[in-house]
Structure 1
Amino acid sequence: MQDDPVVTRLSSVYPELPPGERAVVRVLLDDYPFAGLGSLRSLAERAGVSPPTASRLFDRLGYDGFAAFQAAVRDGARDRSRLHEFVTRSPGTDLPAGDDPVARRPEDGSSAVRQAAGELRAGLEGTLAAVPEPLIETVAALLAAARSVWALGGPLSELAAEYLVRQLAALRPAARRVPDTASARAGTLLDLGPPDLVVAYDFRRYCPGTARFARAARVRGARLVLVTDAWMSPLAAEAEALIRLPHEAAGPIAPLAHEIAVTELLLVATAARLAPAGRLADLDALTQTL
């Protein structure tokens, strides 16, 4: 966080600010970047100041309003690698000059594993608590009723998209992953319409290809379910159903475990709507013949 230019700017200007604007900066730095990603009113309330006072801070910092400040916060968040963050703060990674990594004490690795396990456990509990059952049921209804379901994600979240369609294909027909090439994606879009559903997994760093396909599908009338993070994908405003994982779901390296957990809930709720016992029995019988 200390390398983030927004944090650097907030810290450097703090001594020069009037009391009200200092209070806003304290809230931002105490809960960065999440405090800066809500509404201006909620930020002002947390700082105990009026919205105009909070707004003056961003003008003073040289941003073209609060929306421009939020864009800068999101840009900084996208540029940070979770893997790099975890490695640089994990026990035993800062070695004195001349130390041999091979000679590192064996307990260093165990300590890192315990730390990661604790973060995963706490994050998973927070994720499941943050995704209410009515939202799961809403998405399940869309997954069950759509003519076809197409899922896609970014470099890592595509694994969650693949898991969704592999399991969903056993429950219902026409569940597929969005193809990778531009020509194949164009062919997919050609046949998309209002009866179809796109499920996008989009986490920082947000994937431009995911956004392009989802927006093109929306233009053609397809519905959109978005699974994203606390920073929120640029697609958030276009989603009919939005599953926003809390910041605890970032995981020690990536949010994949949390994405899969939420996907499991979606599949369970969808299966309850489809009653797919006959289809699954046919699938098992066919598998035995091949």
Structure 2
Amino acid sequence: MPPHAAKPHIGQRITQQYADLSAQEQRVASFILDHFDDLATFSAADLARLTGVSKSTVSRLFKRLGFESFASVKTHARSLRALGVPLVTEGAGGGEERFKRHVARETDNLSRLYAGLSSADFEAVVTALDGARRVTLIGFRNSYPLAMHFRQQLVQVRDDVTLAPQPNQTLAEELVSLQAQDLVVVFGFRRRPQVFERLMALLAQRESRVLLIGDATAGDQARWASWWIECPLDSVSAFDSYASAMSLVCLLTNALLQRRLAQGRARIDAISTLFDALDELALPLP
């Protein structure tokens, strides 16, 4: 294995060895994958009881997968989830139970977002969105659609809103003309590219204000930002949920529209007039 290659995660290890496991070990391995998000709530004894095997079978499985104990399995699982590694699970259950667990997790994410966001910081961000000469939105990988959606909302309300990096283009060309009157909004959700930290440090060296929006793993980059808003991504299954980030984008844009209502209404009307002139949208008949 190359020196910097990551070791296989537990899902990969189970897949690679599943055929060679005993029937009882397979039962435990399947249970681990099916309840991955709840793994921290179980003990080794719980696993043995819930799968109908002996504790020695559970311990033997951990050894075969390369773990010293169940505690190391849970530590491994927490680190994977924090990094955003999607593991296929059935943890959400089925039928109405799936919906209930999903709604509960989404509600918890939203509650944590707004509990951690002070009204003073929120108003300061809206003021910056209103007064900036230009707003530049930056997002990589899963953060890119969020940045793109925020731009689509902001251009309804104000002008000079840009998105970076453009497809197959460089950041340098987008950032070279930043000025003190500008606002840069950086979406920094987990599994960020290596350039991210260098980008944040570079932005801090310039005079523009910076709003960082991301999950908890971006918290160590908050030292470079003027404002930092944490959006939880927790979900009941393999993939992260960005509902809290989309909710924040909606709230910020609506607050900005209320801040500049006359200009916003005029711009929305002008956009609608151009829609009609260009016949771009298939609008429903009244």
Q: TM-score, normalised by structure 2?
A: 0.62
Q: 1:39-118 alignment to 2 at 5 Å?
A: 78-81=82-85, 83-84=86-87, 87=89, 89-91=91-93, 108=94, 110-118=96-104
Partner of residue 197 from structure 1, selected from 183, 201, 204? 183
Q: Which position in structure 1 is the counterpart of 2:108?
A: 122
Aligned residues: 203
Identical amino acids, percent of aligned pairs:
22
Partner of residue 159 from structure 2, selected from 161, 173, 176? 173
Alpha carbons 1:146, 1:195 under 8 Å: kept: yes
Distance 1:119 1:73, change over 3 A: closer
Alpha carbons 1:192, 1:217 under 8 Å: kept: no
> Counterparts of 1:170 and 1:134 in 2: how far apart (Å)?
25
Alpha carbons 2:105, 2:234 under 8 Å: kept: no
Alpha carbons 1:136, 1:265 under 8 Å: kept: no
CA deviation profile, 1:48-107 (whole Å, cap 9, x unmatched): xxxxxxxxxxxxxxxxxxxxxxxx9997665452x31x726344xxxxxxxxxxxxxxxx
Alpha carbons 2:222, 2:228 under 8 Å: kept: yes
> Counterparts of 2:153 and 2:250 in 1: how far apart (Å)?
9
CA deviation profile, 1:112-162 (whole Å, cap 9, x unmatched): 343222211232233233323222111111111111111122321222111
3-state DSSP of counterpart to 1:262: helix
Partner of residue 279 from structure 1, selected from 262, 267, 286? 267
3-state DSSP of counterpart to 1:235: helix
Structure 2 residues without counterparts, runs of 5 or longer = 1-8, 11-39, 42-75, 279-286
Q: Give the AA of the match of 1:87.
A: T
Q: 2:235 matched to 1:251?
A: yes
Q: Which position in structure 2 is the counterpart of 1:288?
A: 276
Alpha carbons 1:150, 1:199 under 8 Å: kept: yes
> Counterparts of 1:80 and 1:203 in 2: how far apart (Å)?
9
Deviation at 1:288, TM superposition (A): 0.9
**Which runs of structure 1 show a deviation greater than 6 angstroms over 4 or more consecutive aligned residues?**
72-75
Alpha carbons 2:141, 2:192 under 8 Å: kept: no
> Counterparts of 2:79 and 2:194 in 1: how far apart (Å)?
13
Distance 1:131 1:116, change over 3 A: same
Distance 1:226 1:126, change over 3 A: same
Distance 1:174 1:214, change over 3 A: farther
CA deviation profile, 1:23-48 (whole Å, cap 9, x unmatched): xxxxxxx99xxxxxxxxxxxxxxxxx
> Counterparts of 1:232 and 1:179 in 2: how far apart (Å)?
19
Deviation at 1:195, TM superposition (A): 1.4
Deviation at 1:272, TM superposition (A): 2.0
Q: Which position in structure 1 is the counterpart of 2:282?
A: none
Structure 1 residues without counterparts, runs of 5 or longer = 4-29, 32-71, 92-107
Alpha carbons 1:202, 1:233 under 8 Å: kept: no
Q: 1:220-259 alignment to 2 at 5 Å?
A: 220-245=206-231, 247=232, 249-252=233-236, 253-259=239-245
> Counterparts of 1:126 and 1:264 in 2: how far apart (Å)?
17
Distance 1:80 1:271, change over 3 A: closer
Alpha carbons 1:78, 1:206 under 8 Å: kept: no
Q: Which position in structure 2 is the counterpart of 1:50?
A: none
Partner of residue 146 from structure 2, selected from 154, 160, 165? 160
CA deviation profile, 1:7-28 (whole Å, cap 9, x unmatched): xxxxxxxxxxxxxxxxxxxxxx
3-state DSSP of counterpart to 2:133: coil
Q: Give the AA of the match of 2:275.
A: T
> Counterparts of 1:140 and 1:164 in 2: how far apart (Å)?
13
Deviation at 1:259, TM superposition (A): 0.2
Q: CA RMSD in A?
A: 2.9
Alpha carbons 1:160, 1:260 under 8 Å: kept: yes
Deviation at 1:163, TM superposition (A): 1.2
Alpha carbons 1:153, 1:210 under 8 Å: kept: no
> Counterparts of 2:143 and 2:207 in 1: how far apart (Å)?
24
